[in-house]
Structure formats: structure tokens, C-alpha cells
Amino acid sequence: MINKSLKELAQALGTKQISSVELSTLFLDRIERLNPEINAFVTVDREKSLKMAADADARIAAGTAGALTGIPIAQKDIFCAEGWRTTCGSKMLANFIAPYDATVIRKMHHEAGLVSLGKTNMDEFAMGSSNETSYFGAVKNPWDRERVPGGSSGGSAAAIAARLAPAATGTDTGGSIRQPAGLCNLTGLKPTYGVVSRYGMIAYASSLDQGGPMGASAEDCALLLNTMVGFDERDSTSLDRPVEDYTRGLEQPLAGLRIGLPKEFFGEGCDAGVMAAVQGAIKEYEKLGATMVEISLPNSHLSVPAYYVIAPAEASSNLSRFDGVRYGYRAPEYGNLDDMYMKSRAQGFGGEVKRRILIGAYVLSHGYYDAYYLQAQRIRRLIANDFVAAFQSCDVILGPTSPTTAFKIGEKSADPVQMYLSDIYTIAVNLAGLPGMSLPCGFAGGLPVGMQLIGNYFDETRLLNVAHRYQQATDWHQRRPDGIA
Ligand code: GLN
């Protein structure tokens, strides 16, 4: 059961081969046994999960089940879930019990009938690429426990890779679904900005944040995405579009597909082993009938610098709400109100979060706003225009997800710029608001390599199709780490 796809699990539940309570218990037992070592979950609540599973079993018995009713899933701890502790990886929210459901959670629990197994570890406020900034400690990559799983959705990635959950939610502001998926041999999708509601998803950089699915395959991601999308009047950037069934295009043949290869993604800066695996994927796509087109994204080298102005600027504003008054951590001892604010924030936030608040406040300040923030916004437009031009000559864009495989815990934590460069291929997608995916395409030095597929706006169906056909022709995504049984 633990290695089955979501479709197979749905079949097993539908034919009463197993109940949701039994299936959920199986995963909860694995979490109890393996999580102390992996640290993928920060909160597990067996009673709540089993109650949801019993409700799902009742729906299955009554014949009112949806496609995924009764299937267990892990939730990134950035999504508020009513009655569940929701920490966002921070001491600031270490004791925060969410009083309401994020829209994504509401849809998954109440409409789809999925069963949450718990909340997964993450970089503090989703700021990081290694899960090392979490207040709850580093997460270990199940492929090599001395290495990071990536971040910020590192707990979700490690949970699926160790088969503590069949699938999970993630969020992606600059690569946080795609990069951990790549480093843990998973498939993950960041949808077009505005497709998945951000209501109840704790805000990092609101113009970039987007929730999405993580799983073992494109098909699993398509099924999960179906439960997450839809217009939400409670998110002002939610898009009012007809809801699609993302599984409907999976089987389309790829003959005639034009795949763009950005020359900037195939130059120096990428490890040779990663490049070799990506080149292997290109060959496979040619066999499947696709043609390769060389394209250029001339401003892509500016994506990391522009992002590290825009994201901290938005973060400094979003995180101002954590003042120790309304909710969150409050310093135990203080003199006056100002002192209470200062001590609560000084004690409640970790180092990386403080760095970003400082940078953000600086680039927004009088005298620097034009030089930094406004300039970064102009670059953002140029980067988006590069993609508009590129999609004139191709249907999807392919390249590496990350320049390296999973690095050692501690290897980059002392050098923020090195850490920021792990997102060099993923960030432009968020700046442009486009959909992007990562999927397994081989191994280098025994560690998984992810390739990235970037689609035009609202082209999730095509991205999933392009990924699914590749996964029918290859078995990289079916490989599992040793020693997790
Ligand atoms: N690693 C990037 C950052 O630290 C992206 C994180 C994310 O997508 N949430 O901001």
C-alpha cells in the first residue's frame, strides 16, 4: 500500500480492499516509527486524522465519495487548518492553533475528503532552500540522511520520499515546490499565479506565493491539483476561470511538441552530473516525437538579484503583523510597549527571517525605494517579457531544476548567497507568474536529479501531459531510497 499511486489507492478504497482508517493508520504508524529520524512532520494528531478517515469511510459507504476521498496526505505547515497547530516553521507561531481553514485545506478536507496525516516541517516562513532555517530543526533527505531535502517545502518532500505520506501540499515563492521535489526524486507543480487560493496560506511574498501539489508522479499531481484550484473571493488575486480537470490531457501524444531549451540554463554554473541527466531527458523527448528549439531568456541572470529585493520587501510588510499583541510569541519580560514589540520579534524570529525583514525595510525606505524596489520591479517585467517572446517559438521550456543535487546539511548555511543561488533556475518562473514543474530525470553520484518544465500561463494541463508521457517511458520516478521500508 505504501508505494501505490493515488489512483491505485483510490481503487483499493473504492473496492473495499482497505478502509481509509486502515490506510491512514498504516501511514501514521510509519510516521511514528520513522519521523524521529527524518523530522519531516512537526505536528501529528492521530485522533484528528482518524476521525477524518472515519468520515471518509462513511462517504465511501454512502456512495458520495469523490475521486480521492479517504486518501491520506501531508500538509505543509504554512496552511492554516482549523484546530491544528500551524507554525510556519517559526518560534513565533510555535503555539498557534489556527482558528480557521485555509481555502486549500477546506477544499481538501471538506470537499475532496482527503485525510490530513499532519503538518510538515519547512524553512521558517518559507525562507530558505534547505529546510535548515526551521525552528523545529533540519529535515533529513531520505536518499542520504546527511543531506538536505531542499526547501522550503522540505518536510513535505522528505515525507513523500520516505513514504510517510503518498502525497503532500507545498508552496512555491521562488522554487520551494520544485527544488525539494528535484532533490528528493519527486514530481511537484507550481501553478500559474492566481490559480490556487492563498487565503489562509501564511504570506511570505504575496505577489509570488503559490500553493501546489507534490507527489510521486505527474498523474498524482494532476489528481491533487484538481482538489486545490478554483476561484476564491477571499483572495483578491484569485482568478475567476472555469475549473479544469487536469487529468484529461495526460495521455496526449507528444509528436510535434516544441521544447525550448534556454541557452542561459545550459551554460556554466550547473554540475556536470545534473547536466548529463537533463541531456538524457532531452534524448528521451526526441524519441517521443518532440523537437528541440534553442531559445534565450536574456534577463534570467537578473532573476535572483531582483527576487532578493522584491521578496524581502513584501516579507517585511507581511511579517509586521507578528507583533506579540494579537497572536504569536510574546516576550515574557519587557518594559513598555515598544520594548515588548522589539523583544518579541527579536526572540520570535530566526536569523534568516530577520535578515530579510532588514533588507526589505531598507529597499522600501525613502531614498532607496527607486534605486532598489522600483528597479527590481522593472527587471521583473523584462523577465516576464523574455518568456512571452520565448513562447512564440516553443510550447514548453525544459532545463535543470537546480544546479546541484542535494547538498550536505550545514554546507551552505553560513553563506546566504550560495544558498540563494540554488534557486537560479526556478525564481524567474515566479517573477513571471508562470506554471513550472520538477520531475525526476536520473541520478548523479547516487542522488536524484530533477528537470524543470515551464509552461505558458494556464498551461498546467500541457505540462502535466508532457511530464506524464515521459514518466510512462522512464522509471526514474519509481525509484525509492534504500532503507525506508
Ligand atoms: N529559496 C527561496 C527563498 O528562500 C524560495 C523559497 C520559496 O519558494 N518559498 O526565498
Name the grid cell of 136: 523545529
- Tell how far the Cα of 173 is from the centroid of ligand 1, in angstroms: 6
Query: Could you tell me if the CB of 77 is within 6 A of ligand 1?
Result: no
Q: Check residue 432 and give its pLDDT.
A: 98
What SS3 state is found at 213?
Answer: strand
Task: Check the CA dihedral 268-270-275-281 and report its sign.
Answer: negative
Check: CB of residue 196 under 8 Å from CB of residue 177.
Answer: no
For a ligand 1 pocket test, name from 130, 152, 307, 316 the mutation site with the most ligand atoms within 8 angstroms of its C-beta: 152
Q: Probe ligand 1: pick from 176, 198, 318, 422, max atoms within 8 Å of CB?
A: 176
For residue 102, give the amino acid letter: A
Number of Cβ within a 10 Å radius of residue 33: 10
Query: Which bin fits 198, alpha (ψ -120 to 50), beta or left (φ > 0)?
Result: alpha
Alpha helices in 121-269 (DSSP H): 154-161, 178-183, 218-228
How far is ligand 1, taken at its centre, from the CA of residue 128, in Å?
5
* Distance of alpha carbon 294 from alpha carbon 390, whole angstroms: 9
Sole residue written with cell 519587557: 334
Question: Is the model's pLDDT at 327 over the cut of 90?
Answer: no
Element (H, E) at 105: helix 103-106
Q: Give mean pLDDT, residues 61-81.
A: 98
For residue 402, name the pLDDT band (cuts at 50, 70, 90). Answer: very high
Residue percentage of the chain with pLDDT more than 70: 100
Query: Looking at residues 110-123, what average pLDDT do you find?
Result: 98
Predicted confidence (pLDDT) at residue 421 exceeds the cutoff of 90: yes
Task: Name the pLDDT band for 4 (thresholds 50, 70, 90).
Answer: very high
Q: Which fold has domain 6-256+464-478?
A: Amidase signature (AS) enzymes (3.90.1300)
- The bridge status of strand 187-190 relative to strand 211-215 is antiparallel
pLDDT digits (tens, 9 = 90+) for 139-158: 999 999 999 999 999 999 99
Longest dimension (CA), the chain: 70
Q: What is the pLDDT of residue 268?
A: 86
The three cell numbers of residue 456 are 505558458
DSSP code of residue 235: S
Do residues 172 and 441 lie in contact, with contact meaning Cβ atoms separated by under 8 Å?
no
Which are the contacts of 400, defined by CB distance < 8 A and separation ≥ 6? 265, 270, 274, 275, 278, 425, 449, 450, 451, 452
**3-class secondary structure for 189-224?**
EECCCCCECCCCECCCCCCCCCEEEEECCHHHHHHH
Q: How far apart are CA 468 and CA 267, in angstroms?
A: 27
**Residue of the nearest CA to atom 10 in ligand 1?**
127
Task: Write the CB contacts of 315 (distance below 8 Å, at least 6 apart in sequence).
Answer: 125, 127, 204, 205, 353, 356, 357, 360
Ligand 1 atom with the shortest distance to the CA of 173: 8
**For residue 52, with 0-12 CB atoms within 10 Å meaning exposed, 13-18 middle and 19 or more buried, which class applies?**
buried
CA of 174 from ligand 1 middle (Å) equals 5
Residue of 300, 259, 249, 263 lying closest to 282 (CA atoms): 259
Copy the grid coordinates of residue 94. Answer: 510555535
So what's the pLDDT on residue 484?
77
The preferred substitution site among 130, 407, 423, 429 for testing ligand 1, maximizing ligand atoms within 8 Å of CB, is 423
Residue 83's DSSP bridge partners are none
Q: What is the tens place of the pLDDT at every residue in 233-286?
A: 999 999 999 999 999 999 999 999 999 999 999 988 999 999 999 999 999 999
**Mean pLDDT of all residues belonging to the chain:** 97
Residue reference for cell 543531506: 147
| 208 C-beta closer than 6 A to ligand 1 | no
Cβ atoms of 297 and 264 within 8 Å: the answer is: yes
